[in-house]
Amino acid sequence: MTVTVTAPDPTLLDIDEEVREALHEGRPVVALESSAIPHGLPYPANLDLALDIDAAVRAEGAVPARVALLDGRIRIGMTKEQLELFAADPAVPKVSTRDMGITLARGGSGATTVSSSLVAAELAGIRVFAVAGIGGVHRDAPDTFDISADLVQFTRSKVAVVCAGAKSMLHPAWTLEWLETAGIPVLGYRCDDFPAYLSVSSGIPNPHRLDDLREIASVVLAHWRAGNATSPLITHPIREEDGIPSADIETALADATAEAKAAGVTGPAITPYLLKAISQATAGRTSAANRSVLLSTASLAGRFAAQFALELAAGADS
């Protein structure tokens, strides 16, 4: 039996005019997810934060390109009106790579996660993506096999991912082990340890530390030119004064995990459950920390995208 695999279809894309022009001219563009808008802070704080993230990217000379599914199309670069539509409606579903086909085929809309945003970014020709915390290997993975689709998508997308490590409720050592097995480079920008999203350090060293964005850009290009079609991770932690001590996170997480197990909370519901519990246990400090790390990661991604565009242009001229 012959199986025909359909090639990616760029006609599914609706690309914002500013983003399209920037890509055509070789100017820096940073892709962003949209799932945190309807499923993050309450309205209108979520809208304000999304606009501030866009502004942080722009302040570094790059164009923000937030990804979403709208009416059966992949939108690259959301307008303020579209952002407000998502922010005001918590019923907008999260859409991962698993769910993209059914949402698009049915003409539906959805907020993209890291994995589905990477699919869209690569299809549009965007090479830099920013997110505060990636998914990873859950602490109960030996029993549940709960591993984020983000990790699998890193093995499929030639997009550099700027992040503050893995989300705090995940197992950092197992996540790094998975990434090593998959051949995903993890590059610490001016940091020795793999960050832990809301905390400066996970306690686990980064495989590599690099202190120059130009060098990181050259490493990413060399990785792809060697034939690797995977997503290098560029990690940088939350500002120390804004981070939550990892010991506080661990205590809150242990209690929340036990409560979740007793309540029968599993699958996709476990991450928001644990994040909410950590927020309550830390007297709401996670909201301020989350805002800080979202903005700092977006800013770094803007700077990296600008440097990466220069490296691409220099390569084209040589």
Per the annotation, where are the binding residues for substrate? 94, 114, 148-150
HSE at residue 259, side-chain half, CA atoms within 13 A, is 13
The catalytic position among 18, 33, 215, 259 is: 33
Element (H, E) at 65: strand 63-70
The catalytic position among 25, 158, 167, 241 is: 167
Closest CA to 289 of 235, 248, 240: 240
Residue 80 designated active-site: no
301: which residues sit within 8 A by CB, 6+ positions away? 30, 57, 60, 62, 128, 129, 130, 162
Residue 51, token pair as written in the block: 């606009």
Which residue type occupies 202? S
Paired residues of 13 in beta bridges: 74
HSE at residue 10, side-chain half, CA atoms within 13 A, is 8
Residue 33 designated active-site: yes
Q: Which residues are annotated as a binding site for Mn(2+)?
A: 146
Paired residues of 76 in beta bridges: 15, 67
Q: What is the torsional sign of CA 180, 184, 188, 193?
A: negative
* Active centre residues (catalytic): 33, 167
